[in-house]
């Protein structure tokens, strides 16, 4: 599965809109609904929750407005907070914000730290927070009001679902560029981003869900730029050929491991286990694990090994 940076993600969006003909408003709708579906799968019946949706003024906030509308229409107790001036919300995000108003859901404008201090008690009374403040467009540390919001949300102990990226992370780096939301779950859109798959930034993302919002796989695979691949269980399953039922350990090779010294037997132990778990037929006997006599007992997995002859003294077998 390909991992994209911010420029590649923008290009994938553009090609989907211009070449495939899927409007950006449809992509935003798909994103919001996929986020709600993932929330339901993870947190169960959302009607048992009070949900606060924290929205920025850009497209990530627009995704949040769709999430809020979908939750409202399903009977969930939801509150929406816009971090910044509502008048500055533009484009598709503005359309979805206005739809919320026509449905009777009031959005709270939080334009400064004083307003945040006033309304944070409402957020802290909720049982689930949706982070829709910043997506892939951020490239500088959060400051001022947003830095305060991140600190308060992280200190609240309330579970957080982040849309695309936890706010404060950059899609172009695995490094921490500043303070960020510490999400329990991140639902990333279209393709994973660098900050979600590499440390230290990945530690802020929690569990990762990759949401299909309608961007074709062939577009994700062919956008120009660096190529980073994420190995998933599904990908690896396709690479592993099932073994025939009538085969035995002699059909799958023998591994010789030369490792270990007194106090350093962990490497030998892990290498032997790794060889077995990766499919080696034998890690034992004359072609087995070689280490000094005095290390044999600690290398053997749970069973002390007593050499019987000079020839066998340099050989230990794992008991996996």
User: Residues 119, 110: contact at Cβ < 8 Å?
Assistant: yes
CA nearest neighbour of 32 among 85, 99, 127: 99
Spell 24-40 as b/e; 16+ CB within 10 A means b: eeebbbbbbbbbbebbe
Q: Is 290 helix (H, G, I), strand (E, B) or coil?
A: strand
* C-alpha to C-alpha distance for 25 and 93, rounded to whole angstroms: 9
Q: In this predicted structure, what is the pLDDT of residue 310?
A: 36
Residue count of the chain, please give it.
Answer: 320
| pTM score | 0.80
Q: Is 38 helix (H, G, I), strand (E, B) or coil?
A: helix
Residue with tokens 């400064």: 112
**Domain limits, CATH 3.40.50.10260, in the chain:** 2-234
Q: Is residue 312 over pLDDT 60?
A: no
Residues 258-296: tens digit of each pLDDT:
876 777 778 888 888 888 888 888 886 433 455 666 555
Q: In this predicted structure, what is the pLDDT of residue 313?
A: 35
Q: In this predicted structure, what is the pLDDT of residue 279?
A: 86
Q: Tell me the C-alpha to C-alpha distance, in Å, between residue 134 and each of 2, 125, 140.
A: 22, 23, 11
Task: Grade residue 316 by pLDDT with cuts at 50, 70 and 90.
Answer: very low
Residues 204-252: tens digit of each pLDDT:
999 999 999 999 999 999 999 999 998 877 777 887 888 888 888 888 8
CA nearest neighbour of 165 among 128, 210, 124: 210
CA nearest neighbour of 78 among 14, 134, 128, 136: 128
CATH class of 2-234: alpha beta
Task: Grade residue 95 by pLDDT with cuts at 50, 70 and 90.
Answer: very high
Q: Is 214 left (phi over 0), alpha (psi -120 to 50) or beta?
A: left
Q: Is residue 320 over pLDDT 80?
A: no
Q: Which distant-in-sequence residues (6+ apart) come within 8 Å of 111 by Cβ?
A: 84, 85, 145
| Cα maximum dimension of the chain | 87
Q: In this predicted structure, what is the pLDDT of residue 238?
A: 80
Q: Tell me the C-alpha to C-alpha distance, in Å, between residue 130 and each of 52, 54, 68, 75, 167.
A: 6, 6, 9, 17, 11
Q: Please state, rounded to an integer, the average pLDDT across all residues of the chain.
A: 88
Return the higher-pLDDT residue of 36 and 293: 36
Return the higher-pLDDT residue of 274 and 19: 19
């Amino acid at each position: 599965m390909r991992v994209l940076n911010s420029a590649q993600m923008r290009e994938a969006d553009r090609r989907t809109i211009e070449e495939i003909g899927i409007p950006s408003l449809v992509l935003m709708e798909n994103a919001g609904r996929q986020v709600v579906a993932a929330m339901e799968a993870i947190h169960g019946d959302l009607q048992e929750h009070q949900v606060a949706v924290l929205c920025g003024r850009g497209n990530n906030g627009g995704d949040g407005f769709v999430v809020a509308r979908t939750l409202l229409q399903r009977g969930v107790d939801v509150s929406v907070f816009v971090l910044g001036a509502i008048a500055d919300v533009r484009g598709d995000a503005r359309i979805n914000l206005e739809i919320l108003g026509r449905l009777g859901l009031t959005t709270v404008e939080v334009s400064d730290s004083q307003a945040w201090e006033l309304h944070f008690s409402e957020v802290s009374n909720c049982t689930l927070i949706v982070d829709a403040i910043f997506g892939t467009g951020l490239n500088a540390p959060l400051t001022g009001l947003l830095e305060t919001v991140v600190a308060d949300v992280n200190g609240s102990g309330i579970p957080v679902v982040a849309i695309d990226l936890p706010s404060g992370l950059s899609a172009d780096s695995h490094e921490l560029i500043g303070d960020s939301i510490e999400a329990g779950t991140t639902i990333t859109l279209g393709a994973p981003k660098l900050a979600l798959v590499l440390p230290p930034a990945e530690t802020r993302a929690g569990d990762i869900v990759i949401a299909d919002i309608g961007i074709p796989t062939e577009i994700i695979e062919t956008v120009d730029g660096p190529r980073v691949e994420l190995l998933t269980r599904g990908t690896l399953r396709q690479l592993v050929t099932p073994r025939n039922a009538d085969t035995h350990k002699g059909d799958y090779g023998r591994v010789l491991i030369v490792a270990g010294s007194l106090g350093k037997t962990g490497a030998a132990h892990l290498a032997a286990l790794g060889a077995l778990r990766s499919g080696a037929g034998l890690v034992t006997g004359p072609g087995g694990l070689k280490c000094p006599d005095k290390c044999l007992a600690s290398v053997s997995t749970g069973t002390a090994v007593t050499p019987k002859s000079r020839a066998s003294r340099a050989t230990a077998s794992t008991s996996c």
